[in-house]
Amino acid sequence: MKKSWWAVVAVLASTVPAAGCGGGPGPEESGAGRDRPVVEPAGSIVPDEEGEDVPEATLAVCEECQRRLAARQYASAVNSMDRHAARASTQAAPIPSKRAVALLCAGVARTNLGLYREALANLAEADELHGHLPAQTRPQLLEMLYHAELISATAVGDGARKEAALEGLQATGRNVGPYVKEACGVAPDPAAVRTCGTSPPPGTTQPGTTQPGTTQPGTPLPGTTQPGNPTPVPQTPGPGEETGGEVTEPPGNGDGSQPETGDGGPETDDGPPPDTDAPEPDET
């Protein structure tokens, strides 16, 4: 009985799917269960068959890459993409676009598995061939390339590659803030990474800050007036400066009193008026 019991257990164990209860990829396949960022396509990386002259072999690799990354089959993607990259360069008629996509996809899959140094090797070669990526989906492919490179370079402490990846992401028009925050999660020492400190990463601005040469909202310039206050804002001289113009004293008598003006002007003393009743002189 004991022997038959263990035989039943062995049969039951062999019927359990190796990839997990749901039949999907297991932890080793997908990299699940690890606290690391995941790089996925930001959009479709498969170009339309019409309107662009893309080799069918390249289209097939784009479709497989999209499918495996979406299913988080990273280990399978690495094995398959390595084969595609090798065949693309060794076959009778090399297909550089196929090799570029395969290397890029392999680098992304290795990044998601935490194989950062191997991923950087794939991504560096894919970046050299980026001109052969399908033009229609090149922005999505480059975003994925630089995203994976930023994470892998930050994880291994390669500052030069990290900065190059940031510049690549900025060139695609992306806001690099979320990418930097994500990459800092895998940095061995985040405090030692410039972009993981308190200062914002290049190409981003913080709310409430102004660029050099600008003024804060609500701050009037010297010589201007504020709404509801017609009095100009005085312009105060800086240290060592003197105000221009001559200083004039108000008219007065020197003792602070004002001159008396009567009915519109100062009084004058011209002497007594002539006497009109005096006798006229004798002509004889």
CA-to-CA dists, residue 182 to 35, 111, 200, angstroms: 11, 13, 14
The separation between the first and the last C-alpha atoms of the chain, rounded to the nearest angstrom, is 185
Q: Mean pLDDT across the chain, nearest whole number?
A: 75
Q: How confident is the model at residue 212 (pLDDT cuts 50, 70, 90)?
A: very low
User: CA 69 to CA 71: how far, in whole Å?
Assistant: 5
Query: Rounded to the nearest 5 degrees, what angle is found at the Cα of 192, between the Cα atoms of 189 and 196?
Result: 85
pLDDT at 148 over 70: yes
- Average confidence (pLDDT) over 179-204: 76
Q: Is the pLDDT of residue 2 over 60?
A: no
pLDDT of residue 53: 86
What pLDDT, in 10s, does the model give residues 218-265?
A: 555 555 555 555 555 555 555 555 555 554 555 555 555 555 554 544
127 - beta bridge partners? none
More confident residue, 228 or 6: 228
HSE, side-chain direction, 13 A CA sphere, residue 260: 3
Cα distances (Å, whole numbers) of residue 202 to 154, 170, 177, 190:
16, 9, 9, 17
pLDDT in tens, 53-97: 899 999 999 999 999 999 999 999 999 999 999 999 998 899 999
Q: Please answer whether residues 73 and 29 qualify as being in contact, where contact means their C-beta atoms are separated by less than 8 angstroms.
A: yes
| Mean pLDDT of all residues in 121-132 | 97
Radius of gyration of the chain (CA): 42
